[in-house]
Chain A
Amino acid sequence: MPEWPSQYHPPPVAIHRAGHGDTGTPHHPWLQHHFDNMAQQAEASTLGMWVFLVTEIMFFGGLFMAYIVYRHQSPEGFQEASSELNRVWGTINTLVLICSSLTMALAVRAAQTSKSAKAQVGWLLGTIVFGLAFLGIKAIEYYDKFTHNHVPGPHFHWEGHFPKPAEQFYSLYFAMTGLHALHMIVGVGIMTVIAVLAWKKNFDEEYYTPVEVAGLYWHFVDIVWIFLFPLLYLIGGHFKGA
């Protein structure tokens, strides 16, 4: 059995990892034991969220692909169906989400610059309020589609020229905006947790990763809407049906 020279060079005691089992160099209360320091932990968390967002892009990507294929198959039917969506509510909702992104960015900034817990919670609550406003408006739109029998299924009813593509359009509309709304609901939940943590004065310039990571998620969900809005509401808007 060959004896290899060891590749394992234990460092001097002074830079031993802090944490479980190690005799104590003092460390930040939020540092988990398997990380060397706060910077490594923050980098790992943000990279993790970015990688997660990549998977989200692929997740929504399948739906966007389906949309492109079916729009290509029956562009007129899709335009006719799209003209029934309420552009006013859609535009207001887009503005609401953009505002929520602003308050989110300000919340991250407030944590990064060690602003008071009140300021952090304030911006987070703003984000939550805008998020709930978006969901409320979405619910109004869904209700409207429901009363007009525009929900796909056995009760779907369409008075235009292209009932079949219209049903497909609304299948995709509910699948895409529904999945997006689900992400918004999750986002509001995350923001609530973050706001409680912020209220308990957990975040300052040394440790604000959760706010930052939650912010990344929030901005991503906003951006998805920025793509959904023109695809579903705007393209072919001049077409009013013959």
Chain B
Amino acid sequence: MDTTIGAPTLNYLNNGYGLKSWLLTKDHKRIALLYLWSITAFFFLGGFFALMIRLELLTPASDFVQPDTYNKLFTMHGVVMVFFFLIPSIPAVLGNFLVPIMVGAKDLAFPRVNLLSWYIYILGGIFTIIAAVTGGVDTGWTFYAPYSTSASNSHVIMAGLGVFITGFSSILTGLNFIVTVHRMRAPGLTWFRLPLFVWAMYATSLIMILGTPVIAITVLLVAVERGLHLGIFDPALGGDPILFQHLFWFYSHPAVYIMILPAMGVVSELVQAFARKNIFGYSFVAFSSLAIAVIGFLVWGHHLFVAGQSTYAGLVFSLISFFVAIPSAVKVFNWTATLYKGSVSWDSPMLYAFGFIGLFTIGGLTGLFLATLGMDIHMHDTYFIIAHFHYVMVGGAIFGYLGGLHYWWPKITGRMYPEGWAKFACLNIFVGFNLTFFPQFIVGYLGMPRRYAMYAPEFQVYNVLSTAGATILGVGYLIPMIYFIWSLRGAPVAGQNPWGARGLEWEIPSPPPTENFPATPIVTEATHQYAPSREVGIA
């Protein structure tokens, strides 16, 4: 390939301009962009709910909104952010765009199924938005029985169907990735030559296909139970609410890893590209993704420590929860070791990667506090938990997503973004994030419970800090939105490989042509080889 400076004449973006050429496209790159726009819309919708929550919590009394409204706000925040932003974010946008290119294929194995998954996602989103505007849901994003069965009079069926439907979009995405990685790899591209991002997406896909059907049937049963008065989870009808919690967390705990594993894959790419070194311990990082996926399925009981689960079951779940720390720590140590003697540059994607490593470490370690049976009884359902999972979800997953979006933006659009603004936004997000959520660790440890519109006056100072941080964080999210849109016209042309990084995606023009490669590439070494193979011992 010649290193073309400037966009090639025909690429996936200018290959047809009509609405039909987008809405009926089977090109994985265009579908990735469809997802990018729709999840961004849901991100700002979920962010709006978060802002309302933080405004209400500015004062101890329930004065900005009524408690009923507050219940709906935190429920919709959770539902939208988890099911419509975090779960599809990296897989459906970056994964869709990159997995076929990284394995040297023209497209995913099932392009039509890929497009179908986007329509299913939108249909589920419409159901959820209808539920939100016609009255809202107040069960919490977990839909616990009996809140969701007999106690709630809100639009649980509608929101439940929204979650049910959108679940199939992630099942289809996972199915597509698994088949693509197994069957579409270019000649010579063996498993251990694959980019670590692909390994992470593969592990994520395994969770998607094994976990999502279970929550689909569970939420469907809740809807049927409400609609037809069947006694499945509602104790008043003879059902068992704990069974709901088991079935719900059997998916929803692994779903946490659906959100974090792709971000880990992105960070593995970023660390290599901006330290200009092969990853330290490639196979350990690759297998730790699979280990997280497998162990992640065995820990759901740690959400039920105080729900009446037997102590022995609690002990086992506590122990297995500790095990998840091992593959997670392997990744953190290996990223850090990769930096050693690397030629580290401080471009904005790398700043996000550094942010990820630090914040994920805090989020992960506080997870160990919560996995400890005795500690959990003290901290269960407090703001400590809120802070813990926001460090993993926002500090981890969103930092990974933004880092990846910045890193591959030149590939996706063919344009650079303003680096100064990007660094400023990253710093802004980092400061805003920590100011929002660090006080919540303290106030949670002091005993402030989650999910109440009112709180004791002595907690106010922490809540004021938190709301101030949320405002900074909100501004931080708006800045990239603005300069990314601006960059489409105003920014300098990126060229094929602006970072000097390795990988098949950097060997094709930016933006890539519709067919990705003019012919199937033949791969002769690991795709991320920053040193001669004999020195690092990778075949």
Query: Which A residues lie at the B interface, using CB under 8 A?
Result: 1-2, 4, 6-11, 15-17, 20-22, 32-34, 36, 40, 43-44, 47-48, 51-52, 54-56, 58-63, 65-66, 69-70, 73, 152-154, 164-165, 167-168, 171-172, 174-175
Q: What's the Cα separation between A1 and B529 when bound, in Å? A: 16
Q: What's the Cα separation between A154 and B231 when bound, in Å? A: 11
Known pairs A34-B106, A167-B231, A175-B224; A4 contacts B238 (CB<8 A): no
Mask for B132-175, Cβ within 8 A of A = 1, else 0? 00000000000000000000000000000000000000010001
Smallest beta-carbon distance B526→chain A, Å? 9
Of chain A, the residue at the smallest CB distance from B187 is A11
Known pairs A65-B247, A66-B221, A171-B231; A44 contacts B507 (CB<8 A): no
Smallest beta-carbon distance B516→chain A, Å? 9
A168 partner, pick from B231, B504, B517, beta carbons under 8 A? B231
B224 and A2: CB pair below 8 A? no
Mask for B497-539, Cβ within 8 A of A = 1, else 0? 1001010100110000011011111111101010000000000
Known pairs A21-B515, A48-B109, A165-B238; A4 contacts B502 (CB<8 A): yes
- A40: B residues at CB distance < 8 A: 183-184
A34 and B182: CB pair below 8 A? no
Query: Is chain A's binding surface mostly helix, strand, loop or mixed?
Result: helix
B507 and A8: CB pair below 8 A? yes
Query: Which B residues lie at the A interface, using CB under 8 A?
Result: 1, 105-111, 113, 171, 175-176, 178-180, 182-184, 209-214, 216-218, 221, 224, 228-232, 238-240, 243, 246-247, 276, 497, 500, 502, 504, 507-508, 514-515, 517-525, 527, 529
- B527: A residues at CB distance < 8 A: 7
Of chain B, the residue at the smallest CB distance from A61 is B214
B243 and A69: CB pair below 8 A? yes
Smallest beta-carbon distance B212→chain A, Å? 7
- B515: A residues at CB distance < 8 A: 20-21
A51 and B105: CB pair below 8 A? no
B214 and A11: CB pair below 8 A? no
A54 and B210: CB pair below 8 A? yes
Of chain A, the residue at the smallest CB distance from B176 is A48
Closest 6 A/B residue pairs (Cβ) = A59-B213, A62-B217, A58-B213, A171-B230, A34-B107, A34-B106
Interface centre among B175, B514, B525, B527 (most CB of A within 10 A): B175
Of chain A, the residue at the smallest CB distance from B247 is A62
B175 and A55: CB pair below 8 A? yes
- A69: B residues at CB distance < 8 A: 240, 243
A34 and B519: CB pair below 8 A? no
Interface centre among A34, A36, A56, A154 (most CB of B within 10 A): A34
Smallest beta-carbon distance A3→chain B, Å? 8
B507 and A33: CB pair below 8 A? no
5 contacts between A and B (CB under 8 A): A11-B520, A17-B106, A48-B176, A48-B179, A56-B213
